């Protein structure tokens, strides 16, 4: 019999890569989508999967929709990827962010505990939970103190500990992936990587003159979503439920990212990038670099992309889109 996976946030960046990955592995994939007033926008990232997945409406804040789906599907694996995932936006809509990312996780954990406790559960935790904290050797790992610096980070810390608590108290197979930033051509264009690549390609094609950004001196550990969803699958299929950091182990500043991207297009970023205060945040995470040695050693996870192949793929995708 086919294994069944239930994915919340299925039409997001990671949800779409994870769906493709699981369909290729022979899974029957079910997903939860929120209603969008423009129907066509709801599943654009899932277009290539056509009729291969089973979607239905729901919301992490609507307990009854979660309960009825989990009861009906009885999935073998639940991936909770749904979230208000934009850190800057979380300062503007802190209550919605915390409701979705914290209480929403409680809602789905409860539905799972009551109606499908034999299933396995994956929670999309984040390196944003480390906030301003970093170990002496300049890495963050599973043992690093959590010091979130945004409503988003705080909400993810709540759901991280809640997930651990459900494992301890109810002996459920629940795990956290503590994923560092991961990108792709499917990334929302209000996240910095896709904003930079889209802007640089538009400038190269003569469609845009300047690119406005916020803090150029924050460091991030960037990988590719395709590699990171593979890690999610390995985490949930490990013999024991556990929490793992998933990261590339390399860090670059936003400025470095601009420099690399513009250089690939034979441009100098200094001629085009300007700072606009409106993109600064009331609280910033200055430095992220993850130590994923446990995931590599215990799960055998190994990313295939580098920052260069990631940017090349994003440039190619935007060149195709903007040249039309």
Binding stretches for ligand NAP (CB under 6 A): 8-9, 11-15, 34, 59-61, 81-85, 100, 104, 124, 126, 179, 181-182, 188
Cβ contact 188:139 at 8 Å: no
- Decide which of ligand GDD, ligand NAP, none touches 8; Cβ closer than 5 to 8 Å per partner kind: ligand NAP
- C-alpha span between 145 and 132 (Å, rounded): 9
Among 180, 244, 269, 301, binds ligand GDD (CB under 6 A): 180
Three-point CA angle 50, 52, 55, nearest 5°: 85
232 binds ligand GDD (CB under 6 A): no
Query: SS3 for 68?
Result: helix
Closest to ligand GDD by CB, 190 vs 268, is: 190
Q: Which residue has the tokens 């297009």?
A: 265
Residues 205-224 that bind ligand GDD (CB under 6 A): 213-215, 218, 220
How is residue 302 annotated by DSSP? -
Binding partner of residue 283 among ligand NAP, ligand GDD, none, CB under 5 to 8 Å per kind? none
Contact between 252 and ligand GDD per CB under 6 A? no
> Quick one: which of 16, 127, 155, 159 contacts ligand GDD (CB under 6 A)?
127
Among the listed residues 67, 128, 183, 230, the single catalytic one is: 128
Examine the residue annotation and report whether 128 is marked as an active-site residue of this protein. Answer: yes
Angle, helices 104-115/151-170, rounded to nearest 10 degrees: 20
Nearer to ligand GDD, 68 or 215 (CB): 215
* Alpha-carbon gap, residue 181 to 61, rounded angstroms: 25
| Residue (2 or 71) nearer to ligand NAP, CB | 71
The position carrying tokens 């930079």 is 196
Among 112, 152, 219, 305, which one carries the catalytic annotation? 152
Start-to-end CA distance of the chain, whole Å, equals 44
Measured from the CB atom, is 96 or 267 closer to ligand NAP? Answer: 96
Whether 42 and 12 have beta carbons less than 8 Å apart is answered as: no
- Binding of residue 167 to ligand GDD (CB under 6 A): no
Q: Is 27 a catalytic residue?
A: no
Element (H, E) at 80: strand 77-80
Q: Using CA atoms, how far apart are residues 277 and 298, in angstroms rounded to an integer?
A: 43
Q: Could you write out the three-class secondary structure of 169-221?
A: HHCCEEEEEEECCEECCCCCCCCHHHHHHHHHHHHHCCCCCCEEECCCCCEEC
Q: Give catalytic status of residue 126 as yes or no.
A: yes
Under rule CB under 6 A, residue 190 binds ligand GDD: yes
Backbone φ, ψ for residue 64 (5° rounding) = -65, -35
Contact status, residue 208 vs residue 114, Cβ threshold 8 Å: no
Q: Which two tokens stand for residue 186?
A: 């499917």
Q: What is the number of the residue whose Cβ is closest to ligand NAP?
A: 12
Distance in Å, CB of 309 to ligand NAP, minimum: 17
Q: Is there binding between residue 181 and ligand GDD (CB under 6 A)?
A: yes
DSSP notation for 86-122 = -HHHHHHSHHHHHIIIIIHHHHHHHHHHHH-TTSEEE
Q: Does 281 bind ligand GDD (CB under 6 A)?
A: yes
Q: For ligand GDD, which residue of 4, 28, 45, 88 counts as binding (CB under 6 A)?
A: 88
Q: Which does 14 bind (CB under 5 to 8 A by kind): ligand NAP, ligand GDD, none?
A: ligand NAP
13 binds, among ligand NAP, ligand GDD, none (CB under 5 to 8 A by kind): ligand NAP
Q: Tell me whether residue 60 or residue 314 sits nearer to ligand NAP (CB atom).
A: 60
Least distance in Å: CB of 77 to ligand NAP?
Answer: 16
Q: Which residues contribute to the site for ligand GDD (CB under 6 A)?
A: 85, 87-88, 126-128, 180-181, 190-192, 195, 213-215, 218, 220, 254, 279, 281, 284, 288
């Amino acid at each position: 019999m086919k294994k069944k996976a239930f994915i919340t946030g299925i039409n997001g960046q990671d949800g779409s890569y994870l769906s493709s990955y699981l369909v290729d592995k022979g899974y029957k994939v079910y997903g939860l989508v929120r209603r969008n007033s423009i129907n066509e926008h709801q599943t654009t990232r899932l277009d290539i999967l056509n009729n291969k997945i089973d979607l239905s409406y729901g919301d992490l804040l609507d307990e009854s929709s979660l309960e009825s789906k989990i009861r009906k599907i009885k999935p073998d694996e639940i991936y909770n990827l749904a979230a208000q995932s934009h850190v800057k936006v979380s300062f503007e809509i802190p209550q919605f962010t915390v409701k979705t990312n914290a209480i929403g996780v409680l809602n789905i954990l409860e539905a799972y505990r009551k109606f499908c406790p034999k299933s396995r559960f994956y929670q999309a935790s984040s390196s944003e939970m480390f906030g301003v904290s970093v170990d002496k050797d300049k890495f963050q790992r599973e043992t690093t103190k959590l010091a979130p610096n945004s409503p988003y980070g705080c909400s993810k810390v709540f759901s991280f500990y809640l997930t651990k608590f459900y494992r301890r108290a109810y002996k459920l197979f629940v795990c956290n992936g503590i994923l560092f930033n991961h990108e792709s051509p499917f990334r929302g264009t209000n996240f910095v990587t896709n904003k930079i690549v889209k802007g640089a390609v538009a400038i190269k094609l003569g469609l845009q003159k300047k690119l406005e950004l916020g803090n150029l001196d924050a460091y991030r550990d960037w990988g590719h979503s395709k590699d990171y969803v593979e890690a999610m699958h390995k985490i949930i299929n490990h013999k024991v439920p556990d929490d793992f950091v998933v990261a590339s182990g390399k860090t670059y500043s936003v400025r470095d990212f601009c420099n690399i991207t513009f250089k690939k297009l034979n441009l100098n970023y200094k001629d085009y990038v300007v700072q606009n205060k409106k993109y600064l945040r009331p609280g910033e995470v200055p430095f992220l670099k993850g130590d994923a040695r446990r995931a590599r050693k215990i799960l055998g996870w190994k990313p295939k992309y580098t920052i260069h192949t990631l940017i090349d793929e994003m440039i190619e995708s935007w060149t195709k889109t903007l040249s039309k």
